[in-house]
Chain A
């Protein structure tokens, strides 16, 4: 939702980043205000997931130029775990499995670590159990998720629900959902989307990275951005997503090139 008096949460300017020496982000600009929902779309290899990981601080990516200010702080001065505590959340496209570690154990460690860093109350195992079960209802998750090893043997849909459960627990200011819709059937997509919608409020913001318009039927974006070759080349409202669905991406790139040619 767009609010007139909302604050700027995230401001990305001229961001360049490389992985293994190959430049993926090539001068990206992006601004998010609190309360907003943004969708970033674009063809494979355009740099969407890279952008998500760079914001969260994945160590394989090197930032070579540009700035990212998150709630007034230089994001690049924070280690990945500090960014998490500061309120940057990434729902992973491919969540990792941790054999032998009970989900409840992992969730509680994450929750308490973040709580402690924010100067808030930590929960003992019993209190946490009550708390997490309440959150699981949001996502229609069975309590036996708590006893299973983290993501091990989870179906694609179960993993994605577990990601959103973590979002619910960690109460982020900026939640980046990296292809959370992939691998979800229609019912799961609806449940996960409802969960996300319930978590959205005017203090936080959500950035959806997706290939498909169908997610946006459930989580309605305020802005839709098209990414291409490491930059955002077009921004529109939700109708842009529908247009992309019917026309593909090529016309956006062509239009962008034409505009660049005129400018030059």
Chain B
């Protein structure tokens, strides 16, 4: 049986190509001059350079976290280039001015960039290596007051908003990788939904790493003012290199009174080959601040890529009656390692959080759920429900669950459920005995297992995620 299972999980990565495009790559290495160079290239205001330098100083004093259940050789931060941009950076007036090679790349990846072609009706911001190359539907969004642009642009055109919110959810010295990101971030998406506005379309950012020795450090900031709402989607791919690339992003969400932010990710960074050579180190800090009363922040993630994933999209529930949600599917295969989960920090009264985590481990991979539910003394009537399920495919994969609970208010109610299951010979035999072959069987089992999460995704993303999973696990069951 292992042979069929094996074949099923071992599909090649189809986004592994490199785009031949001239890039402006900074020399490797990190020091204050690198940071000044990045800041100068982007014509940044003084306060932002200060923000970067302060973060850099903080980072120098910090140590790489050792607590995640992942193993990798020490990263040489001086061997990374901190800035890479496709050449041709004169300001683009329309899509037609984008390098056709870039357009072809995104076409290949299935990302509709031409506004007239974007029938899907999703506004897309595209980050290629370090910089944003295109944002679609900007004008249409501006009509209702929604700002959706690259972070670099936001810094120049809406500095007051950026300055007001940047670093308020993830402070510069929050953790090792967040500090690094705060020092060297090159671009990212910025999104502002003004008071009372329901964003008329889904917003989407597509991240692509193309250069071999550059790191990607993007910074995303989403603000939903009182009564505003937005659904935001993020997709990621990278070419297949035999070296490891570092991806250390920071995403900050702020929801004011009665605001609603839904953030969905399908992460498919290159995972390395079947022997664990190459792949992205995905060390990401994502956090939302449910600042206002009745606000709601919901994270949905489908993590399939990266050699190593270290990521805990979290919600700080400060507003009374605010809601935090985390729906996650993390799939690991071959020698991938994932240590992912969430933190729900309950500060306000009657705050509620839901955690649904589904981990699927195949091959010789290792998949850990790590989650913290913290109920502060102020959080009277807070409630949390957590469900963490693991599924093993084959008999060489590992799954772990590390739930941490800190409850400091006796009126709080916290529930945790966990399960582990296995796709093995007996399951496959049952399907086979009903005429159903291995591929269809695995696809059905996995989709059933992930149903609670997939149904949180916007329709198109859900379809993509389902396909991605079957593709990813093809060959793993048999």
Contact A99 B448, beta carbon cutoff 8 Å: yes
Most buried by A among B1, B421, B432, B450: B432
Contact B436 A110, beta carbon cutoff 8 Å: yes
Contact A59 B435, beta carbon cutoff 8 Å: no
8 Å CB interface, A143-171 against B:
149, 166, 170
Contact B430 A96, beta carbon cutoff 8 Å: yes
Residues of chain A within 8 A of B433, CB atoms compared = 56-57, 80-81, 83-84, 89-90, 92
- Choose among B429, B430, B431, B435 the residue that contacts A114 (Cβ–Cβ < 8 A): B435
Judged by a CB distance under 8 angstroms, whether B425 is at the interface is yes
Contact B430 A92, beta carbon cutoff 8 Å: yes
Contact B430 A84, beta carbon cutoff 8 Å: no
A sample of 23 cross-chain residue pairs with beta-carbon separation below 8 angstroms, ordered by A number, consists of A53-B429, A57-B433, A60-B1, A60-B425, A79-B432, A81-B431, A81-B433, A85-B435, A96-B426, A99-B421, A99-B449, A100-B448, A100-B450, A100-B452, A101-B445, A101-B448, A106-B434, A109-B440, A110-B434, A110-B436, A113-B436, A114-B435, A117-B435
Contact B435 A166, beta carbon cutoff 8 Å: no
Contact B425 A59, beta carbon cutoff 8 Å: yes
Judged by a CB distance under 8 angstroms, whether B69 is at the interface is no
Contacts A58-B429, A59-B425, A96-B426 hold; do A170 and B434 have CB atoms under 8 A apart? Answer: yes
Q: Scan B417-430; emit 1 where CB is below 8 A from any A CB, else 0.
A: 00001000111111
Expressed in whole angstroms, the Cα–Cα distance for A112 and B429 within the complex equals: 18
Expressed in whole angstroms, the Cα–Cα distance for A110 and B444 within the complex equals: 11
8 Å CB interface, B444-466 against A:
444-445, 447-452
What band does the interface of chain A fall in when counting residues whose beta carbon is under 8 Å from B? Answer: 20 to 34
Contact A166 B434, beta carbon cutoff 8 Å: yes
Expressed in whole angstroms, the Cα–Cα distance for A149 and B421 within the complex equals: 15
The smallest beta-carbon distance between A215 and chain B, in angstroms, is 21
Number of residues in B with C-beta < 8 Å to the partner? 24
8 Å CB interface, B392-430 against A:
421, 425-430
Chain B residues proximal to chain A, CB less than 8 Å: 1, 421, 425-437, 440, 444-445, 447-452
Q: Scan A84-104; emit 1 where CB is below 8 A from any B CB, else 0.
A: 110001101001101111000
The smallest beta-carbon distance between B345 and chain A, in angstroms, is 30
Contacts A58-B429, A59-B1 hold; do A81 and B435 have CB atoms under 8 A apart? Answer: yes
- Choose among B425, B432, B444, B450 the residue that contacts A109 (Cβ–Cβ < 8 A): B444
Contact A84 B444, beta carbon cutoff 8 Å: no
Expressed in whole angstroms, the Cα–Cα distance for A90 and B432 within the complex equals: 11
Expressed in whole angstroms, the Cα–Cα distance for A98 and B429 within the complex equals: 13
Contact B432 A57, beta carbon cutoff 8 Å: yes
Expressed in whole angstroms, the Cα–Cα distance for A239 and B463 within the complex equals: 59
Residues of chain A within 8 A of B421, CB atoms compared = 99
Expressed in whole angstroms, the Cα–Cα distance for A96 and B432 within the complex equals: 12
